[in-house]
Amino acid sequence: MPETAAGGAGVPTHCPYCALQCGTLLSPAGASVAVAPDAGFPVNRGGLCQKGWTAAEVLTTADRLRAPLLRGADGRLAPTGWETALDAVAARLARIRAAHGPDAVAVFGGGGLTNEKAYLLGKFARLALGTSQIDYNGRFCMSSAAAAGTAAFGVDRGLPFPVTDLAGAGAILLAGANPAVTMPPLMRHLEGADLIVVDPRRTATAARAAVHLRPAPGTDLALALGLLHLAVTEGRLDGPYVRERTTGFEEAWQRALPWWPERVERVTGVAVAELRTAVELLAAAPRAYVLTGRGAEQHSKGSDTVAALINFALALGLPGRPGSGFGTLTGQGNGQGGREHGQKADQLPGYRMITDPAARAHVAAVWGVDPGDLPGPGRSAYELLDALGTPDGPRALLVLGSNPVVSAPRAARVTERLRALELLVVCDFVPSETARLAHAVLPVTQWAEEEGTMTNLEGRVLRRRRALAPPPGVRDDLQVLHELAVRLGQPAERFPADPRTVFEELRRASRGGRADYSGIRYERLDAGEELHWPCPDGAHPGTPRLFLDRFAHPDGRARFAAVEHRPSAETPGGAYPLYATTGRLLAHYQSGAQTRRVAELAAAEPEMCVEMHPGTAARAGLTEGARARVTSARGSVHARVRLSEGIRADTVFLPFHFPGDGRANLLTGDALDPRSRMPEFKVCAVRVEPCDGA
């Protein structure tokens, strides 16, 4: 058995939370398990954050669901047996589909689901339900980076190199990423580099930076154009690289030409001297990286912002150069794998476009159906949620691994749409805020109770292993999909409930696709092989580093993108004079459905807060610890004031982990990126005032 940092042994698996997927070893501890870091896993090298250390507590939370719930005639959710619940759900899905057509039923997945669940969910939607209406919460997370990365490089993998490569860098630009809080063990790989952090707040990561660029929210694209301008005008363009390995430089340069440093300073608020230092540090370092996070991506121009940062990295000759590169710090635990296997509205397994006839033919052959039987592309995540219960929209929704009442933008509107459904079915392990609205709740297993695979931010495929029997009354999501599919008239063997069998089929479905898993098997992973996709056959060693010889476009070259800066959908003014931006806290993960149930984490961050500059607070009549009401054109949030000298005076920050009237997404709007359909989580206009009765 593998050794822990402390010299013990246990079942090797991975943390249930973020995309770093830190290695852990689980050993029995009473009715649950004890978590120890796996010192042998190179990504976290024996480190875990507070969330990882306490992850076992989620398994035995007091309100863990242990029986299906059905809403009765009295309007209450009441426990029932599995057969009754599955029969009822299947019958109602079938009735709605028969009466209103297959697109009247919809599916909403999650970026934390295993590869096997993501794959079977996509197949369930397209075959068992026959619907085009499937998307997932990763649309709110990685879609801008995926769109820009695919356009530039021909394929998108969060980091096209192992995280351990970062340790050799002399300089790293982190645009809108705060790994000291969101994935702390990553910081040990960044220790040797000069960090250039782009963030409107002095975050824990920015506090360690050599240079902290603090642009106004929504101006990162102007900043990125300015960086490209400076790289060219200061003689830092890597001409041979640009000529030999890229196309489209001239068009991109024409867009950056008007972004001289003084203009960038006027628009972003970042001083010219700081811009110059950032470019100089990156250009002078023998090895350098440009990395993005949600701060740069969650905008109505998120994909153009990432594209502009890729342009800058290409101008310096970084992507595909050994020891240098461009990458994105993926967010959710299976944010990478979750988007590769067919739960996206526009994609089929293997990262194939659903509109591509060859892709449809391949996947249809694996599934044993005619390509014409596969539906076309459906609505993107927010558009899907916004259409629920409308005359042309879905009337039924099945949710797996997501809590959109808290995590979707414009939360009050989304909650209203969920309430308008004829049938809402939620698979979850606790009564999440979304589950509480459901007509049926199906209790499912958690990470330490199940087998499967996850794909972390480096495209490394990992085994999730079972260390604990699930509580009685709880089933695996794969089993749930199998049971529902059979009740909907599908052959049982088409929807296997066993993860290994599902993975075998996923391998075949991915063969020849952009994310090719066909050479990866449980046996190879269990034997300790480190496999990053693409891995096209059983003898292939996997591909830890992409693009060293060529990019994935047919001509082997990366593409510059000609992009323009534009304002955010909403900017401060009038009744809403401040920017609001949203993000994460160290103690919590996503909607908080898991971490709010862990005593230590809940004690560390018990309630909604709003971070603001002391001067801004004083002008609003607020002091540290006061209760504030933050209001946008869409609603109000109540939060405890937290003062920080390190945030811009025109900006407040709100974490998005809290429920009820602490939901940051009561403020956010529904402007979408035209390409990725990413909502604008990172910018809206608000006012802050004392909360009555505080």
Burial of 554 (0-12, 13-18, 19+ CB in 10 A): exposed
* Shortest Cβ 52–ligand SF4 spacing (Å): 2
- Report the alpha-carbon distance of residue 240 to residue 107 in Å, rounded: 48
Angle between helices 499-510 and 115-123 (to 10 degrees): 70
Report the residue number, 48 or 141, with the smaller CB distance to ligand SF4: 48
Instruction: Specify the pairing of strand 578-583 against strand 684-690.
Output: antiparallel
* Shortest Cβ 50–ligand SF4 spacing (Å): 7
User: Considering only residues 128-187, where is the footprint of ligand SF4 by CB under 6 A?
Assistant: 183-185
Report the residue number, 27 or 247, with the smaller CB distance to ligand SF4: 27
Residue range at the interface with ligand SF4 (CB under 6 A); choices 20-28, 118-126, 625-633, 658-666: 20-28
Length of the chain: 694
Report the residue number, 11 or 271, with the smaller CB distance to ligand SF4: 11
DSSP state of 577: -
Q: Answer yes or no: are the C-beta atoms of 661 and 636 closer than 8 Å.
A: yes
Any idea which residue has 């809290």 for tokens? 658
What track of x and - describes contact with ligand SF4 for positions 184 through 223 (by CB under 6 A)? Answer: xx--------------------------------------
Report the residue number, 51 or 514, with the smaller CB distance to ligand SF4: 51
SS3 for 609? strand
CA 125, distance to chain mean position in Å, is: 21
Query: CB nearest ligand SF4: which residue?
Result: 52
Burial of 539 (0-12, 13-18, 19+ CB in 10 A): exposed
SS3 for 26? strand
- Report the alpha-carbon distance of residue 132 to residue 513 in Å, rounded: 21
- Report the alpha-carbon distance of residue 433 to residue 209 in Å, rounded: 38
What track of x and - describes contact with ligand SF4 for positions 30 through 69 (by CB under 6 A)? Answer: --------------x---xx-xx-----------------
| Choice from 10, 12, 13, 17 touching ligand SF4 (CB under 6 A) | 17
* Shortest Cβ 20–ligand SF4 spacing (Å): 4
| Choice from 10, 12, 13, 21 touching ligand SF4 (CB under 6 A) | 21
SS3 for 598? coil
Residue range at the interface with ligand SF4 (CB under 6 A); choices 14-22, 132-140, 301-309, 636-644: 14-22
Report the residue number, 185 or 217, with the smaller CB distance to ligand SF4: 185
- Report the alpha-carbon distance of residue 666 to residue 664 in Å, rounded: 5
* Shortest Cβ 335–ligand SF4 spacing (Å): 11
* Shortest Cβ 474–ligand SF4 spacing (Å): 23
How many residues belong to the site for ligand SF4 (CB under 6 A)?
Answer: 14
Report the residue number, 6 or 365, with the smaller CB distance to ligand SF4: 6
- Report the alpha-carbon distance of residue 536 to residue 613 in Å, rounded: 52
Residue range at the interface with ligand SF4 (CB under 6 A); choices 19-27, 62-70, 220-228, 634-642: 19-27
18 binds ligand SF4 (CB under 6 A): yes
Q: Answer yes or no: are the C-beta atoms of 340 and 455 closer than 8 Å.
A: yes
What residues pair up with 348 in beta bridges, in sequence order?
A: 352
Helix H or strand E segment including 280: helix 272-284
Q: Which two tokens stand for residue 233?
A: 């005008």
* Shortest Cβ 274–ligand SF4 spacing (Å): 29
DSSP state of 508: H
22 binds ligand SF4 (CB under 6 A): yes
* Shortest Cβ 112–ligand SF4 spacing (Å): 11
* Shortest Cβ 436–ligand SF4 spacing (Å): 26
Where on the chain is the footprint of ligand SF4 (CB under 6 A)? 15, 17-18, 20-22, 44, 48-49, 51-52, 183-185
